[in-house]
Amino acid sequence: MALSDISLTAGMRNNLLSLQKTATQLSNTQEKLSSGKRVNSALDNPTNYFAAAAHMDRASDLNDRKDGMSEAVQTIKNADNGIKAITALIQAAKGLASSAAATSDTLSQLTYESQFLQITSQITTLASDSSYRGTNLLTNGTLSIEFAPKAGDSKLTVAGFKAGSADLGVSGTANWANVQNATQAMAGMDAALTTLRSKSSVLASNLSVITARQDFTDNVINTLQQGADGLTLADMNNEGANMLMLQTRQSLGTTALSLSSQAAQSVLRLF
């Protein structure tokens, strides 16, 4: 039977249309309450929907950059740990040279020299072991950190250096039975320590930049998320009140439709 074959009174048709509209509004309100958002698709509010989506996309891209920043921090920290350990070894080696220069006992001087050579070999090994995920700033490695969502827009490049004993000028040796040679070795180690302090200062400066960018990125992500929420989140109190109103309206509409039906049925009693 076609829909046109069914005759409804004007009152029944109006009540039915009102119930259908109320049911649609009730469904929309339920969706808002369940999702917590007043804008769930572009149909709800195209401007707010796409603006919020853009905010969240940028926040997601920045969040991906945070992983790279965290790894860069660990790479620099590992290099700095290596510098501290190498510094400790050089200071120990300097103590040996000082002892050799302070004695006239040839055997002791040669013993100090032998110990010095062992330490310098460990300096090179320690520098080689200071890598983090394949990047070693103590063997002239380079670290590149991206800050912006689009590659190349904002980045920092951290240049490493060679921290082996030969590179620092503390690997060479001469007969320490000659006090002058031991004294020259100490001067070389003083220069190496100065170099290490300078390089450590540069790494610390780069680390400060990265950590500052981490904090800034966290704040930007939070701002973007708040902006997206402001464009899309629903007022739960208001939507809850709407739900109660629509449920009441639906109940009244059902009652009105029933009354309209009863009016039509009363006509049949005439026959």
The alpha carbon torsion through 7, 12, 15, 19 (nearest 10 deg) reads -60
Residue ranges of E strands in 60-99:
none
Mean pLDDT of 104-122: 91
Closest to 96 (Cα-Cα) out of 77, 83, 82, 115: 115
Q: What is the pLDDT of residue 1?
A: 44
Contact 9, 264 (CB under 8 A): yes
Residue 212, pLDDT > 50, answer yes
- Three-state DSSP at 142 gives strand
What is the per-residue pLDDT across 197-207, written as a single tens digit (0 to 9) for each? 999 999 999 99
> Which pLDDT tens digit goes with each residue over 137-192?
999 999 999 998 887 778 999 999 999 999 999 976 678 888 888 888 999 999 99
